[in-house]
Amino acid sequence: MFGMGSQMSLNDFVGVIKMPKGVIAGVICQFTIMPIIGITVAKLFNFPPEIGAGIVLVGSCPSGMASNVMAFLAKANLALSVTLTAFATLLSPIMTPLLMQTFAGELIEIDFWDMMLGIFNMVILPICAGLIFNLFLNGNKSRKSIIIEIAAYVSIIFLKNLLQSTSEGISQTQIVSTIIKDLLIFGLLPVIAAYAFKLTANGRKDKLEKILSFISMLAIGIIITVITAAGRDSLLEVGLLLIIACLIQNMFGYSLGYFIAKLLRLKEKDCRTIALEVGMQNGGLASGLAIQMGKIATVGLAPAIFGPMMNITGSSLATWWRSKSTE
């Protein structure tokens, strides 16, 4: 998530104003099609409750950076893809727990506030740290712009702690301590890292991308390995069916996203973008939430399967589209 934030800026959110129809259509499709398909598939295959909840969890998460890569390969609307990813991620602290409570509440117990705080800690704050890092790494903005952006990121940190104090009823001393810790980790540390990177790597962003990509891939690989090992027994029981279920969810995501975009008479490039944004979910976030819930061996299985699978299907679809006209 830090790597994602380091490649973004506030300009990525301006696309909401520039391309309102595509952004609204994409976000609505993403947060309706995938969870509905998830619960439908889970019931159709009659999976154990926690396994089924994992499929719904995948569908309830926003898209990730992988969809942006695929949009580029598919000659789709990359600007729309980046904006959709950014906006859907921004909405995820509310939408993901809400969708899980709505569609998976009958399968497992969902703690709305706990999941919301988990997403803030795993997604929003690290992305803010990445944005701060990028802000000071480039250093091409006015002092006023820097102050406004820093104020916005600090406000998010305070909001997270306000929500935590409200839901957990912690003391004022604990709140102050947590705020200071968050400001140091997600505020000051990225600034120090940006200046350190400038000195050691001469600000070469290509080198930064290689480092962060390697760390991200390594982390995801470790998570998938741990989940697979922990869920060995469940995989032996429902593994093949779960792979088929995840493939169905993935394929329907692409198909329905593209079809609905076509019905709305969006451009071909926008249709491809929405299809990829809907079909490709943030499997890393879903895995992290499964770990937080203490259900890594059950709820975590679908995200562990869906993540690698969507990269194979997404790259295949993008390669096929690349050879087709966008007119």
Q: Which residue has the higher pLDDT, 99 or 234?
A: 99
Q: What is the mean pLDDT of the chain?
A: 84
Mean pLDDT within 152-167: 83
Residue 192 has a CB neighbour count (10 Å cut-off) of: 12
Kindly report the pTM of this predicted structure. Answer: 0.84
Question: For residue range 36-84, what is the model confidence (pLDDT) as tens digits?
Answer: 999 999 999 998 898 899 999 999 999 887 888 888 888 888 888 888 8
Phi/psi zone of residue 46: left (φ > 0), alpha (ψ -120 to 50 degrees), beta? left
- For residue 40, the model assigns a pLDDT of 93
Residue 109 has a CB neighbour count (10 Å cut-off) of: 9
- For residue 216, the model assigns a pLDDT of 76
pLDDT for 6 beyond 60 = yes
Mean pLDDT within 160-175: 78
Which two tokens mark 13?
């959110």
pLDDT for 203 beyond 60 = no
Residue 3 has a CB neighbour count (10 Å cut-off) of: 21
Mean pLDDT within 120-130: 87
- For residue 202, the model assigns a pLDDT of 66
Among the CATH numbers 1.20.1530.20, 1.10.8.80, 1.10.3720.10, 3.40.50.720, which is that of 2-322?
Answer: 1.20.1530.20
Half-sphere exposure of 106 (CA within 13 A, CB side): 5
Phi/psi zone of residue 237: left (φ > 0), alpha (ψ -120 to 50 degrees), beta? alpha
Three-state secondary-structure class, residue 207: helix
Angle, alpha carbons 122-123-124 (nearest 5°): 120
- For residue 41, the model assigns a pLDDT of 93
Max distance between CA atoms of the chain, in angstroms, equals 61
Mean pLDDT within 166-189: 82
Mean pLDDT within 206-211: 74
Phi/psi zone of residue 61: left (φ > 0), alpha (ψ -120 to 50 degrees), beta? beta
- For residue 16, the model assigns a pLDDT of 64
Cβ-count burial of 216 within 10 angstroms (0-12 exposed, 13-18 middle, 19+ buried)?
middle
Taking the C-alpha atoms of residue 311 and residue 259, their distance in angstroms, rounded to an integer, is: 21
For residues 260, 265, 267 and 271, what is the CA-based torsion angle, rounded to 10 degrees? 0
Which two tokens mark 57?
């969890």
pLDDT for 15 beyond 70 = no
pLDDT band at 12 (very low <50, low <70, confident <90, very high): low
* Residues 315-323: contacts with CB under 8 Å, at least 24 apart: 315/70, 315/73, 317/70, 317/74, 317/254, 317/275, 317/276, 318/70, 318/71, 318/73, 318/74, 318/276, 319/73, 319/74, 321/74, 321/75, 321/76, 321/272, 322/73, 322/74, 322/75
Residue 28 has a CB neighbour count (10 Å cut-off) of: 13
Per-residue burial over 245-280, b if 16 or more Cβ lie within 10 Å, else e, is bbbbbbebbbebbbbbbeeeebebbbbbbbbbbbbb
Q: Which residue has the higher pLDDT, 139 or 269?
A: 269
* Residues 184-187: contacts with CB under 8 Å, at least 24 apart: 185/129, 186/125, 186/126, 186/128, 186/129, 186/132, 186/153, 186/157, 187/129, 187/132, 187/150, 187/153, 187/154, 187/157
Choose among 289, 288, 279: nearest CA to 310.
279
